[in-house]
Amino acid sequence: MIAMILAAGLGQRMMPLTKNTPKPLIEVKGIKLIEHSINALKKAEITDIVINISYLGEQIKSYLGNGKKFGVSITYSDESEGALETAGGIIKALPSLGDKPFIVINSDVLCEYDLSKLKLPIGSLAHLVLVDNPKHNPNGDFSLANEHQIINSTTKSYTFSGIGIYHPNLFKTHKNTKGKLPLYPILKEAIINVQLSGEYFDGIWQDVGTPERLELANNS
């Protein structure tokens, strides 16, 4: 299986720490954020990795190289002309991701979810890992019906962890889209078509998106 790590964001919420350093290269407990993602994938025996880069992306390429020193194989999807947001970045990288389901994870989350267990159920075009709502997202993103069917947020909601598995056909009607494209509207389409599934994970998960959350992650 191939995985994609999203690493093209500007890291604006992490300023001033990201003024001269891309967020994926900020350290948590002495390890670069993106290395935590790489290590989680390698632990799951997923070693073919695509990384999209934009803001200060050459620093990421210089540090990671082809991935050999980390025990993985890395290719890059260059968004140097401007970050394309999540769906736009995935669509640009589709030629490198193949025609089978692939994993996508955010480079700024720390999670103990076992990625080797992440599978795409029959009939789904995407399957998301959901977690309890953190303080910065108290209303959550989605709800679950019948344990694994994702629906629009109701009274019991969860937060999207930034970890999911996707079939290329999820982006079929958008594959010719150029420029920025967020993921959320595409997921909403999948909900309408009953093609979005998910699972609840109650283990350790942290979003390291701000200096305050970085401090929390370093002290936890």
Q: What tens digit of pLDDT does each residue of 37-60 get?
A: 999 999 999 999 999 999 999 999
pLDDT attached to residue 149: 95
Segment of 146-155, 171-180, 192-201 carrying the highest mean pLDDT? 192-201
pLDDT attached to residue 73: 98
pLDDT attached to residue 147: 80
Would you say residue 179 has pLDDT above 90?
no
The model's pTM: 0.95
Instruction: With cut-offs at 50, 70 and 90, classify the pLDDT of residue 176.
Output: confident
According to DSSP, the β-strands at 27-28 and 31-32 are antiparallel
pLDDT attached to residue 97: 97
pLDDT attached to residue 181: 95
Would you say residue 22 has pLDDT above 90?
yes
pLDDT attached to residue 220: 83
pLDDT in tens, 139-163: 999 999 988 999 988 778 999 999 9
Cα 88 to chain centroid, rounded: 13
Query: What are the angstrom distances between the C-alpha of 99 and each of 69, 87, 95?
Result: 28, 16, 9
Q: Which amino acid is at 16?
A: P
Would you say residue 26 has pLDDT above 90?
yes
Q: What mean pLDDT do residues 81-90 have?
A: 94
What CATH number has the domain spanning 2-219? 3.90.550.10
What is the rounded (10 degree) CA torsion for 150, 153, 155, 158?
70
Q: Six-digit token pair at 120?
A: 């795409």
Cβ contacts of residue 46 below 8 Å, gap of 6+?
Answer: 1, 2, 3, 103, 115, 116
Tokens 């305050």 map to which residue?
212
Note the helical H segments in 22-56: 33-43
Instruction: With cut-offs at 50, 70 and 90, classify the pLDDT of residue 84.
Output: very high
Would you say residue 177 has pLDDT above 90?
no
Strand partners, 78: 53
- The whole-chain average pLDDT of the chain stands at 95
pLDDT attached to residue 41: 98
Q: Six-digit token pair at 39?
A: 């290590």
Instruction: With cut-offs at 50, 70 and 90, classify the pLDDT of residue 184.
Output: very high
